[in-house]
Amino acid sequence: MIGIAIAGAAGRMGKTLIEAVAQRTGQLELRQATVLKEDPSLGLDVGLLSLGRPLQVLTQGSLDASNFDVLIDFTSPRGTLENLAACASAGKAIVIGTTGFDDKELALIQAASQSIPVVMAPNYSVGVNVSFKLLELAAKVLGDGYDVEISEAHHRYKKDAPSGTALKMGQVVADCLGRDLDEVAVYGREGMGEERDSKTIGFATVRAGDIVGDHTVVFAGGGERLEITHKASNRMTFASGAVRAAIWVETMSPGLYSMEDVLGLE
């Protein structure tokens, strides 16, 4: 039985993760769930947050790294790094779904992976990770003769933009085309400017309503257009992938792994 801890249990993703873990009875056991110290759900049975039935696990305001095997964290960069430090000190594995890290924060995650197994991915949907492989194929075959534009849409509460998934899509394409994404990325356009540079990769972002997550990469050439699209209709697709990653990483040696590693797509 693999012991699971969930950070941010009162959030939209946290509640879905509780449900996903509960579906793996006999394989996984939820042993800990954290919420913000000022959250009104602090001290409540975590099962009542999403399942409507008790799980005999009370929410707590900080992580205790003594009684679980793998932490799943979809919170914030600051919160994730605090939990990562606790996991590293206790030798516990972690699955990170948080996005929006800067370079210094990414370096801290890389350093922690020297001592514990870490899975980090911008998106835990199996379909999205398959789309990364499709983008590699499309970019390699189409080459420089096609303009690349990436659009993404998420709910109004998402803070980082473009999404981590959109950036990963852009990175996959840029790497295949031999481009530096930092140099060729264009984040939004307005006003009168130069005509489009064929080497650029454009990003467009929508934040509205309760959109779970839509991503489209367009390869536009003379006379044709190829679009690779993924649309998520609920968060369970991400939660199920994260749980799959938690089961996989529990037996792994220290290192920094991706969802492609989990799925055997590398």
Residues 6+ apart with CB under 8 A from 184: 174, 197, 199, 200, 201
Are residue 20 and residue 116 in the same domain, yes or no? yes
The answer to whether residue 215 is catalytic is no
pTM of the predicted structure, to 2 decimals: 0.84
Catalytic pick among 15, 154, 215, 230: 154
Are residue 167 and residue 113 in the same domain, yes or no? no
Task: Check if the beta carbon of residue 218 is closer than 8 Å to that of residue 166.
Answer: no
Are residue 115 and residue 24 in the same domain, yes or no? yes
pLDDT at residue number 147? 97
- The parent domain of residue 170 ranges over 126-232
Are residue 155 and residue 73 in the same domain, yes or no? no
pLDDT at residue number 151? 98
Are residue 116 and residue 248 in the same domain, yes or no? yes
Closest CA to 17 of 27, 6, 26, 28: 6
Is the backbone peptide bond immediately before 162 cis, with ω within 30 degrees of 0?
Answer: yes
Are residue 97 and residue 63 in the same domain, yes or no? yes
Q: Helix (H, G, I), strand (E, B), or coil: what is residue 25?
A: strand
Are residue 103 and residue 141 in the same domain, yes or no? no
Are residue 66 and residue 103 in the same domain, yes or no? yes
Q: How far apart are CA 32 and CA 60, in angstroms?
A: 8
Are residue 83 and residue 155 in the same domain, yes or no? no
Give me 54's structure tokens: 């008790």
The answer to whether residue 231 is catalytic is no
Number of separate domains in the chain: 2
Catalytic pick among 15, 92, 155, 158: 158
Mark the ranges of the chain whose per-residue pLDDT is less than 50.
Answer: none
Are residue 135 and residue 63 in the same domain, yes or no? no
Q: What pLDDT, in 10s, does the model give residues 97-136?
A: 998 899 999 999 999 999 999 999 989 999 999 999 999 9
- Pairing of the two strands 117-120 and 147-154: unpaired
141: CATH = 3.30.360.10
pLDDT at residue number 45? 93
